[in-house]
Amino acid sequence: MRCPIPVLFSGLMLISNMAHADDLRERANAIFKPIPAKVTEVRGHAVNNDQAKLGHKLWFDPRLSSSHIISCNSCHNLSIGGSDNVPTSIGHGWQKGPRNSPTVLNAVFNAAQFWDGRAKDLQEQAKGPVQASVEMNSTPERVVATLKSIPEYAAEFKKAFPNDKDPVSFDNMAYALEAFEVSLTTPDSPFDRYLKGEDKALDAKQKEGLALFMDVGCIACHNGVNIGGQSYFPFGVIKKPGADILPAGDKGRFTVTNTADDEYVFRAAPLRNVALTQPYFHSGEVWELEQAVAIMGDSQLGRTLKDNEVTAIAAFLRSLTGKQPEVAYPVLPASSADTPKPE
């Protein structure tokens, strides 16, 4: 018995669509990777739960700052995507920082930390803001004195670092913060589910945007598990943006390497949860995701993206929002009479 022509045609279309979907997913899986459900090691070492619990408290403790006002969470708010949603962060004495605060979510997957990559890992990164005069404005000596003055912290450091003769140290503070930050991942985004085979996790517009993201060349800078964060590129490969977006005074990685080729070179921004982390770019001067997409097409690819292409790519980028970490606000140990007073 022969099938009616419409039924046969419908069946062929279904097979064709399935093949197309599988092809798109296969291409995507060759370039990107899903975020794992849990990170169990960092820098070759298993994550220490006692250190992570200690780091959880330190993350929210404003006494790491000399003013007793600013904590890690002030500029990397875990309730709003791991950044602070302002152009540049406000630090000690109401000073404005020089760059937009990058998200800490999934930062464990980056090749290096900060926009210029000056910290090789999260442990090294954790020391920077604490000491920066424009941020927390403290010193290693003051931090150690503060932590040692609080008996509960002294006991927790001893438990977390049992092999150290003097467990309360600036290095160990950073290790504990790193152990906590490793947990700040966002798995199970629609895009992750699509990569794993759930075809309906992305709608038609998002799939169109994914195809465009790969075809127009965005993947040259934004690839891997964090959709970026792995390499350094000039901002303005084809055409430099205006000074409002690319301030002339911020020469990016040049300040780290002092190499002329690194002028206005920055680490490619990781795009996980990018819909939550506006404003965009190191200058924090662009608030709309669609505008950021259009600027990158023009500056990095030398291509004026059509409105429908911008809309599709932005739709795909919104599929990168994963399950946000649910972090309880900890009850912090009380200061003692010996705790340094705020400045």
**Are 43 and 121 a contacting pair, CB within 8 Å?**
yes
The CA distance from 83 to 158, in Å, is: 31
Contacts of 320 (CB under 8 A, 6+ apart): 189, 191, 227, 271, 272, 273, 274, 275
Query: What are phi and psi for residue 83, nearest 5 degrees?
Result: -130, -160
Distance between CA atoms of residues 226 and 109, nearest Å = 6
135 classed as catalytic: yes
Long-range contacts of 275-280 (CB under 8 A, 24+ apart): 275/317, 275/318, 275/320, 275/321, 276/80, 276/81, 276/82, 276/83, 276/103, 276/321, 277/81, 277/82, 277/83, 277/85, 277/102, 277/103, 278/85, 279/85, 279/86, 279/87, 279/100, 280/100
Q: How many residues does the chain have?
A: 343
Buried-state track 5-43, b at ≥16 Cβ within 10 A, e below 16:
eeeeeeeeeeeeeeeeeeebbeebeeebbbbeeebeebe
Q: What does the alpha-carbon distance between residue 97 and residue 195 come to, in Å, rounded to a whole number?
A: 38
Question: DSSP string spanning 260-281?
Answer: GGGTTEEEPPP-TTGGGS-SBT
From CA 12, how far away is CA 19, in angstroms rounded? 11
C-alpha dihedral sign at 194, 199, 201, 202: positive
Q: Which of 41, 135, 181, 208 is catalytic?
A: 135
Binding-site residues from annotation for heme c: 72, 75-76, 92, 218, 221-222, 296
What is the rounded distance in angstroms from the CA atom of residue 72 to the CA atom of residue 147?
16
Catalytic residues, which ones?
135
